[in-house]
Structure 1
Amino acid sequence: MSLASFTGTQLAVDLKRQSRRATLRALGSSLLTLVLTLVAVLVLWQGAIWAFDLSPFVAKSPADVLEFMLTDEDASEVFENLLVTLGDAAVGFVAGLVVALLVASGFQLSKGFEHAAMPIALLLRSVPLIAFAPVIIMIFGRDFMTTAVMGGIVVLFPALVNIAYGLKSASPQMHDVVSVYGGSPATALRKVSLPSSLPAFFAAVRISAPGAITGALLAEWLATGRGVGGSIGGYISSAQFSLVWASVVVVTLVSLLLYNVVLTVENTVLARMGMHPEKRV
């Protein structure tokens, strides 16, 4: 084996080792973040009950909720509602993220389109969704489409801002290279802007995952009457506070888990691509 060949092989092995170490560090950081977040939530929850001396009939402690979830037959209803809410959230998440990606790509290809569409996005962001809800319900009814539209609106604006920023972060010199070799703006978007926007895209997904659950809960409360959002009002009116707290806990826990799953995937992908997680958007 020649010296050049040996050096190349050694370099490849070193790069693989560095990538593996970076991936393990990213996974460890994400898991540590999840554990610390859960501990902080539990401490604040129990501390608030003690500090305000809340009645145990209304305010349930972490131990009370855990006991209810493990021993009470009604706890299965919480998980059934959660599955419905997660399905509704998935619809809004996909709808909002796909529209945000398409619109942000349009911004990159046409400044005129950006100037025309951005005010509409700002309008959707500035007006409370609850004010739009009656109109959305009248147009789409109290079913699947309303869930998709309301969830998509919650996800759309933060995802759009992050993705649009990421697409603009690509080096102008790289765009010039594509142009010199006869590439079109669409080619530059596909080969330069989209890969460069990965950190911003993951930031959009991290924000959108819990936001989609919020949109689903709102749509269920105002329109469909199903899932966790549609059930909590009934639990409160009938003084079923254990079900209320259990519903809030599972939704919060799932939101935290989704956020940290995306964070773990983000850290792993960026580490393997040589993009340091600390530089993400």
Structure 2
Amino acid sequence: MSTALLPGAPDLGAAGGSGGPGPGRSAGRALLRSVVGAVATMALVLGIVVLLWVAALRVFDVSTYVGKGPGEVWTILFGEDDSAELRGEIAVLLRETLVDAGIGFVAGMVSAVLLAVAVVRYRTLESAVMPVALILQTVPLIALAPLLILLVGRGYAIVAMMSTIVVLFPALVNIVLGLRSVTPQMRDLVLVYGGSPTTVMRKVGFPSALPAFFASVRIAIPGAMTGALLAEWLATGKGIGYAVVSAASRSQNGRTWALVVVVTLTALLLYLVAQLVEAVVLSRFGDAAGRS
């Protein structure tokens, strides 16, 4: 008997035949649209930043000795006799900063995920965890830095702590909201079929929290870069964070602008990579991502 004769049965020929795109093709097209959209958005952001950069220099009539435009920074990086040497120095400094930012990013996101799971699993912890995270977010890092340096020294530990402070609170809030998006009906369904609260968290909570998690990742990337730069300036004396301050104090304005532009472009590129990874993962989960 043909399945088309059964009430409510799907038309298998229409769903999987040549009459329309299959699920894999639809997911691929959605992913391609996401990638193209992310790249186009990043190009638009870069264009706006360059326009605002040029406009600010002209509107405020900044001296050419102090303010460098995009063309001048390009010349500093690629058009002078010592540009190759400068690029080599910046590459070394950038690697150090990326290592510092990576340590802070991982420490901050892991801490945020673990605390979010604990807060959602045991609601009594929320009144203890959230105020502390909020206090760490509101107190300026410049004020906390001397105390943190006394506690952990000037190594990678201080970088991890300062970046974690920047990353933790917004990531924690987002992930908690994502984990709590599980509906009571879905939770009860898993429990009725013999699942535990841990199963609910693993099978339903984490997939539904994926959009919130990736939103936290996109927020955490510039936050981790900021925390790393501050740690390098205030504590370690390494990387681009310290190099910018050192160059500015010596009136090496061209070098200062080059360092700032390189680290800014790097942060934007990392943000774009995070968007592309988000598009790939969410296309893999499809409608399950962000829904209970």
Q: Are 1:243 and 2:255 counterparts?
A: yes
Distance 1:67 1:132 in 2: 39
Aligned pair partner of 1:48 in 37, 56, 66: 56
Distance 2:287 2:230 in 1: 36
Q: Name the residue aligned to 2:264.
A: 252
- Could you say what secondary structure the match of 2:195 adopts? coil
Q: Which runs of 5+ in 1 are unaligned?
A: none
Counterpart contact for 1:88–1:147, Cα < 8 Å:
yes
Distance 1:100 1:179 in 2: 26
Distance 1:113 1:107 in 2: 6
The superposition leaves residues 48-73 of structure 1 with CA deviations (integer Å, 9 ceiling, x where unpaired) of 11222211111111011111111323
- Counterpart code for 1:241: N
- Counterpart code for 2:25: R
Distance 2:168 2:287 in 1: 26
- Counterpart code for 2:48: A
Distance 1:263 1:276 in 2: 18
* 1:112-261 equivalence runs, <5 A: 112-261=124-273
Aligned residues: 278
Counterpart contact for 2:73–2:258, Cα < 8 Å:
yes
Distance 1:152 1:7 in 2: 52
Higher relative contact order (CA 8 A, sep 6+): 1
TM-score normalized by structure 1?
A: 0.93
In the TM superposition, residue 170 of structure 1 has moved relative to its aligned partner by 1.7
Q: Which runs of 5+ in 2 are unaligned?
A: 4-10
Distance 1:20 1:141 in 2: 49
Q: Name the residue aligned to 1:106.
A: 118
Q: Name the residue aligned to 1:9.
A: 16
In the TM superposition, residue 92 of structure 1 has moved relative to its aligned partner by 0.3
Aligned pair partner of 2:103 in 88, 91, 111: 91
Counterpart contact for 2:208–2:288, Cα < 8 Å:
no
Distance 2:118 2:20 in 1: 39
Distance 2:117 2:288 in 1: 24
In the TM superposition, residue 171 of structure 1 has moved relative to its aligned partner by 2.0
In the TM superposition, residue 39 of structure 1 has moved relative to its aligned partner by 0.5
In the TM superposition, residue 206 of structure 1 has moved relative to its aligned partner by 0.3
Distance 1:131 1:182 in 2: 51
Larger deviation, residues 6-15 vs 174-183:
6-15
In the TM superposition, residue 182 of structure 1 has moved relative to its aligned partner by 2.1
- Counterpart code for 1:89: A
Aligned pair partner of 2:88 in 56, 67, 76: 76
Counterpart contact for 1:89–1:216, Cα < 8 Å:
yes
- Computing the radius of gyration from Cα coordinates, the structure with the larger value is 2
- Counterpart code for 2:71: A
In the TM superposition, residue 13 of structure 1 has moved relative to its aligned partner by 4.9
Aligned pair partner of 2:277 in 265, 277, 280: 265
In the TM superposition, residue 219 of structure 1 has moved relative to its aligned partner by 0.4
Q: Name the residue aligned to 1:33.
A: 41
Aligned identity (percent) is 48
Counterpart contact for 2:207–2:288, Cα < 8 Å:
no
